[in-house]
Amino acid sequence: MAGNNLTESVPMHEIEPPTHDGLPLIGNTHQLIREQGGLYEAAAEHGDLVQLKILGMGDMYLANAPELVAEVLTDTDRFRKSTLSQEDLSDLLGQGLVLSEGDLWERQRQRIQPAFYMNRIADYADTMAEETLAAADAWSDTPTVNIEDEMKALTLRILIKSIFGSDINYAERGIRETVNKLQEPGQPAKQPIARMVPKWVPIPMWRRYKQGIDEMEDIVAEFIEARRSGTDDHDDLLSLLLAARDEDGESMSEKLVRDELMTFLLAGHETTATALTFTWFLLAQHPDVEQKLVTELNEVLNGKPPTFEDLSDLTYTEQILREAMRLYPPVPQIPRDTTEQIELGGYSLPAGATVVACQWTVHRDGDLWESPQEFRPERFAGEDTRPQFAYFPFGGGPRRCIGQQFAIVEGKLILATLAQRYHLELISDTDIDLSVSITTRPLDPIKMRVKHRDRRKITPQAE
């Protein structure tokens, strides 16, 4: 990143970060709408901490250096969950782990953490493998796929079956359409509208958004009702939530159970699906990487489907996933608000300022990553000597993603299982439009042609 230029004659508490050039009144709003990722990269050229002005959002500060990211994500006294995040998602996620604070967050994290211990994830891996093999079988007569839709459907089925002990038909329930309704306000072109028009104003976007919430709540209610009315014993997250008691013996309220289930239904499947979507997109453009992948699969698996026990030997498979999440981090930015006037990176920020720990810029910083725009999984081989927060796709600090290990195991099993059987050829244009907002995702479908491999020996060529 460009260095910070401090003026010695100006008292430290009066030095403000550089501002990325914008237009009168609307600031950087037009750049946000046109290409959000490009805006972040251009802004980062000004330094480690840069101010943006967004219509409807006010001032926003991008933290583009690992040492600043570390402060933002680990200092919970000076940085709290963003007010913008609360405004954006509170009606959807309530007080689930993503948004809750303080004692409530600590209590809920302790209650839920056992569901994500590695011995539990090893049990979930059987379901991951089973569902992925079913998806692989379904692809046998499928000439082309929308890879994002396929990955979202698969990761949702895995999540529901392994964590909630249930099953659901993704297509019949129209979940793709439901998720699209919930994501619409976060699209770059819609964000200024979402900031300026209150949710109670019945514009079409907010009507669709509220309908999406109702549809997801109906699914959650079905899970809870089925569990409460059933007689079988279960040992999953839903049972844990329903049985949990705090130190005073109080159970979790129905509202809080709803909030946690909504959080896991949405955040728990979409981010892994996003990582896999871009992994397939990148593999289709890098046959040399795919060759190394299938060689590893052939050597480690010898034609059998992967299991949890195989994952430690699938090192290059994991490097591919990690590199895809570097280039296209599923959550490209993590906003926090300052609790008081602070100094950060040599600059003064007021209380209540929104500071964004920006994966998109840090992961593409040429000072940290050689040829940062290139897809090079090998960069994750061996010991990583970069600063701790040079790479943080799952966040960091005390609020690091609780499902990180679940997502890594799931991603490796899905990639290994499907790459064993199929080569995916990109049909869509390689130059895709992206939404780099709450999540990173393609704005248009990524279409891929499904080609069978020779099952006797795995090779990247089609039959």
Per-residue pLDDT at 463? 38
Which regions of the chain are under pLDDT 50?
2-3, 5-10, 12, 456-463
CA distance 304 to 421: 11
Paired sense of beta strands 333-338 and 354-358, if any: antiparallel
Which range of residues forms the domain containing residue 296? 12-452
CA distance 70 to 16: 20
The DSSP symbol for 251 reads B
> Domain count of the chain?
1
Longest dimension (CA), the chain: 74
Burial 264-301 (b: 16+ CB within 10 A, else e): bbbbbbbbbbbbbbbbbbbbbebeebbebbbebbeebb
CA distance 164 to 237: 6
Residues 6+ apart with CB under 8 A from 100: 108
Q: Judge contact between 335 and 360, C-beta under 8 A.
A: no
The backbone torsions φ and ψ at residue 450, rounded to the nearest 5 degrees and listed phi first, read: -90, 120
Per-residue pLDDT at 261? 86
Does some domain include residue 59? yes
The H or E element containing residue 447 is strand 447-452
Does some domain include residue 446? yes
Does some domain include residue 247? yes
Does some domain include residue 4? no
Residues 6+ apart with CB under 8 A from 425: 284, 448, 449, 451, 462
Does some domain include residue 114? yes
CA distance 289 to 295: 10
Residue 392's closest CA among 365, 424, 415? 365
Does some domain include residue 55? yes
Query: What pTM does this model have?
Result: 0.87
pLDDT in tens, 299-308: 999 999 999 9
Per-residue pLDDT at 6? 47
pLDDT in tens, 100-136: 888 888 888 888 888 888 988 998 899 999 999 999 9
**In one letter, which amino acid is 29?**
T
Q: Judge contact between 66 and 387, C-beta under 8 A.
A: yes
Domain of residue 28, CATH code: 1.10.630.10
Query: What SS3 state is found at 348?
Result: strand
Does some domain include residue 5? no
* Residue 120, token pair as written in the block: 């539990």
Does some domain include residue 3? no
**Rg for the chain, CA atoms, rounded:** 22
Per-residue pLDDT at 391? 97
